[in-house]
Structures are given as structure tokens and as C-alpha cells.
Amino acid sequence: MRTLAPAATGGPRQVVVHVDMDAFYASVEMARHPELRDVPMFVGGSTRGVVLSANYPARRYGITAGMPSSRARRLCPQVAVVHPDHDHYGAVSAGIGEIFDTLTDKVEMASIDEAFIDLTTAMRRLGDDPVTVGEQLRAQVMDEQGVACSVGIGPNKFIAKLASKQAKPDGLRLVRAEDVIAFLHPLPVDAIWGVGEVTAGKLRKLGLETVRDLATTPRGTLQRAMGDNLGAMLFDLAWGRDERSVLARQPAEHSVGSQETFGRDTDDAAIVATEILRMAERTASRMRAQEMVGRTVTLSVRFADFTTITRTGTLKAFTDRTNDIYAEAMRLFGKLHLQRARIRRVGVRMEKLVPKAATYEQPALDEPTHGWSEAEQAVDRAVLRFGPKAVQRARLTRRPVLHAS
């Protein structure tokens, strides 16, 4: 009987998270149109083209992404069809990415609806339990964006991605380093990253049905059968070995922001002001998580006719405080002199950010020893530990119907 080789060990154990948005385009549309949640629906062309994303009620009829729209309508004649809005999907994806950035700067957006996050060095700050971090991340994405995501956590990108697939829909799966072999080896060969229908067929002709079969086949045998590179890759992945790093984004100019789309266009100045405050608070919290400060505040307002205007102001000093950002955003809003204009979306962004450690803040003579900065840091800690709604300003607890992005 062949003795199984252990998975690669040594060095600090990685904590890699793979986040996969569930039926992303369909989920975004259901967030905008809640009446579509419980009926079969897909995003794509109504008569021509293909299905880009289908919700789970539609999938029960056999409708899947990539299927011709005409076939989808034959499978389910009553299916609702939504034409894609790629600008909106991109905005939602960017908003989700900014949530990830509050955890660490090691974030790789693999596509518009999935990302890898390396939490190895951030776990000391976030806590020792990756499941708690993952569940809070899922809650924050749902709270801010209104869409569900599945999360996989593992010692490398390969295992994390497999774990997120098994967590679908709307779940979380943790695979610890010591559990990799037990998790991996019972899976079919086509579960391995990069093994498609053709490669899986070749492997099955060799009698290799499961990942365990691959792992117990000598590397040289696999290389002779499948080619040097593919054979070596299959052998390593069969033992859970994946040396690829999370490719962190390197933005040319650091900025952080958030925006909200109202469920119904509004001309109520009080509602608009409350949402500007919410966006200022969210933006400031993300800045503090990244230990960045800034002086440039940009307010964006989109009207009912989809016209969008932006206004930018500069603060006297660098800040990461909600009240400072909100005050400037409201000053910019007041300068628009709107007369009952119906507003669809508002956003607040801080641009040209710099590391907080590289700046010096001159305290005011009448400023207390402990003030808003300490209070907001305490709120950040509570939210990190207990979730996005753990502590809120009273004004923000009563919330109108919104769509986040």
C-alpha cells in the first residue's frame, strides 16, 4: 500500500479568502427590483443573445449562464428578462472591492464578481477566527450592496476557490491546512482548477476519476500522459499545493468612496442629507481601516434623468473623521442650489489620500483630550467584531429603501 505524501508545510500558514458573488448580475437586479426575487428571472437578451446570469428560481427550470436566450424562454415561458446594465454592475463591483480594502491591501479582483483576499498578516488585527471575519464580510456586502456572496477560506488560492464553490449559494466554507487532504481527495478530477471537459475525459480514460487517484499517481507518469507542465500542475494541486500569491491592486492614485441609489427618486432634502451622512461615515470608516487620510472631498449627485454632476472641495487639514467629510459634502451640496430636483443617487469620495503616519494633525486649543477620533475608532472596533450594524448614529437607524453601489 502506497503511503500518502503530506501536503506542503513550513513557513507561516496563509489565510486566503475567495469571495464569489452569487448570480451577480441577477442579484444586483433583484436588489434594484425586489419583486423579481421569487420569480424566474435572467439577465441577458430577451430573444437574441445569451443568458448572462440567472437567479435560483430560473435555475430550477434548467436555465444557466451561457445558454441562448431563446432556449431559456422555451424552458420557462414566464421567465422575466432584464437587459444588462454594465455600468451599474461595475459600480456595485467597485463598491464591493472597497469593502475588501477595509480588511487588507492584499486584494485581487479576479473578475467583476469574484476576488481573492490574503488575510495572513491582517488576522492579528482582525482576530483569530477566520470564520467570524468571513461572516462579517458577507454581512457587510449584503448590508451595503444588497447582494449575497459565498466565501471560501483556505491555506491558498486553489483551496479557497474550491471551498467557495462548495459554499454556494450564500454560504461559507473553511478548509484548514490540516484538513486539506480530507477535503480534496474525494472530489472528482474536474473539480481541479483548469481541468475542463477535454482534460477530464483524458484523465478518466487513464482510470483517474478522483483527486485521490491523481495524487497517488507518480508525477512522472502524469507528465508523460498529460505533458510536463500540466502533469506537474495536476500532481501538485492534487496534494493541495498552490504557490501563487494574491496579486494586490496598485492604484495610481488612492481614493475611497461610496454611493447609494435611492429605491425611488426623491426631492426630500432631509432624506438626501441623511444619505450623504451615511456615505461620509462609510467612506471615513474605510479610510481609517486603511490608515489613510485626505483633504479632497468629492460629492456626486445623479438626478432622475440620469444626469450626474460632481463637485469637489478641499479641507484645511487632512482628516479621516466623518463629521469633517460630511460638513464639506453638505457645503458642496448647498452650493448646487437645487429647487426640488428629484435625485436618484448620491456619493461621497475622498481623493488623493496619503498614509496617516505621514501627516501631522495640529490639535485645536479647545479640543478635548478624547474626542470624535477616539469615538469613531471605538465604533470601528465594535463593527469589526460584531458586524456592520453593531453601532450606528441615531439618525442613520431609520433607513429608506435604497440600492447600494
Per-residue pLDDT tens over the stretch 122-153: 888 887 789 999 999 999 899 888 899 999 99
What's the CA gap between 203 and 73, in Å, rounded?
Answer: 36
Are residues 376 and 322 in contact, defined by beta-carbon separation less than 8 angstroms?
yes
- On the 0-12 / 13-18 / 19+ scale of CB atoms within 10 A, 58 is buried
Question: DSSP 3-state helix, strand, coil percentages of the chain (rounded to 5)?
Answer: 40, 20, 35
Tell me the CA distances in angstroms from 142 to 86, 188, 255, one per residue in order.
20, 32, 23
Average pLDDT over residues 297-325: 91
- Closest by CA to 114, choosing from 59, 165, 69, is 165
pLDDT attached to residue 21? 95
User: Which positions ≥6 away from 358 have C-beta within 8 Å?
Assistant: none
**Does residue 293 have a pLDDT over 50?**
yes
Are residues 119 and 16 in contact, defined by beta-carbon separation less than 8 angstroms?
yes
pLDDT attached to residue 48? 77
CA 145, 146, 152, 158 torsion-angle sign: negative
Average pLDDT over residues 276-282: 93
**Higher local confidence (pLDDT), 301 or 397:** 301
pLDDT attached to residue 3? 39
pLDDT attached to residue 8? 44
**Higher local confidence (pLDDT), 139 or 7:** 139
Residue 20 in marked binding region = yes
**Does residue 368 have a pLDDT over 70?**
no
Average pLDDT over residues 242-267: 81
Q: At what angle do helices 269-289 and 86-101 cross, to 10 degrees?
A: 50
Q: Please provide residue 152's backbone torsions phi and psi, each rounded to the nearest 5 degrees.
A: -115, 140
Query: pLDDT band at 253, cuts 50/70/90?
Result: low
pLDDT attached to residue 377? 64
Query: pLDDT band at 12, cuts 50/70/90?
Result: low
pLDDT attached to residue 119? 94
Are residues 28 and 44 in contact, defined by beta-carbon separation less than 8 angstroms?
no
pLDDT attached to residue 98? 86
- The fraction of the chain above a pLDDT of 90, given in percent, is 60
pLDDT attached to residue 7? 43
Active-site option among 29, 98, 108, 114: 114
112-115, long-range: CB within 8 Å, 24+ apart, which pairs?
Answer: 112/24, 113/20, 113/21, 113/24, 113/25, 114/18, 114/19, 114/20, 114/21, 115/18, 115/19
Residue 68 CB neighbour total at 10 angstroms: 15
**Higher local confidence (pLDDT), 157 or 260:** 157
Query: pLDDT band at 287, cuts 50/70/90?
Result: confident
What's the CA gap between 234 and 177, in Å, rounded?
Answer: 19
Residue 133 CB neighbour total at 10 angstroms: 22
Task: Show the CA angle centred on residue 253, arms to residues 247 and 258, nearest 5°.
Answer: 85
Rounded to two decimals, what is the model's pTM?
Answer: 0.71
Q: At what angle do helices 322-334 and 269-289 cross, to 10 degrees?
A: 140
* Annotated catalytic residue 253: no
Residue 268 in marked binding region = no
pLDDT attached to residue 308? 87
Q: For 228-290, where are the alpha helices, taking DSSP H only?
A: 228-238, 269-289
pLDDT attached to residue 228? 93
Q: Whole-number mean pLDDT of the chain?
A: 86
pLDDT attached to residue 143? 87
Query: pLDDT band at 2, cuts 50/70/90?
Result: very low
* CATH numbers and ranges of domains, the chain: 24-86 (3.40.1170.60), 185-238 (1.10.150.20), 256-404 (3.30.1490.100)
pLDDT attached to residue 13? 80
Query: pLDDT band at 104, cuts 50/70/90?
Result: confident
Tell me the CA distances in angstroms from 219 to 185, 236, 239, 381, one per residue in order.
16, 9, 11, 48
Residue 338 CB neighbour total at 10 angstroms: 15
What's the CA gap between 130 and 118, in Å, rounded?
Answer: 11
pLDDT digits (tens, 9 = 90+) for 200-252: 999 999 999 999 999 999 999 999 999 999 999 999 999 999 999 998 765 54
pLDDT attached to residue 157? 96
Q: Which of 67-71, 279-283, 290-294, 295-299 has the lowest mean pLDDT?
A: 290-294
Are residues 159 and 245 in contact, defined by beta-carbon separation less than 8 angstroms?
no
User: Which positions ≥6 away from 368 have C-beta within 8 Å?
Assistant: none
CA 201, 204, 209, 210 torsion-angle sign: negative
Q: Please provide residue 331's backbone torsions phi and psi, each rounded to the nearest 5 degrees.
A: -60, -45
Residue 151 CB neighbour total at 10 angstroms: 26
Scanning the structure block, which residue is given the C-alpha cell 438626478?
A: 303
**Does residue 94 have a pLDDT over 70?**
yes
Query: pLDDT band at 32, cuts 50/70/90?
Result: confident
Q: One-letter amino acid identity for 104?
A: T
Q: Which of 26-35, 97-106, 207-216, 237-246 has the lowest mean pLDDT?
A: 97-106
Query: pLDDT band at 374, cuts 50/70/90?
Result: low
Average pLDDT over residues 33-53: 90
**Higher local confidence (pLDDT), 119 or 371:** 119
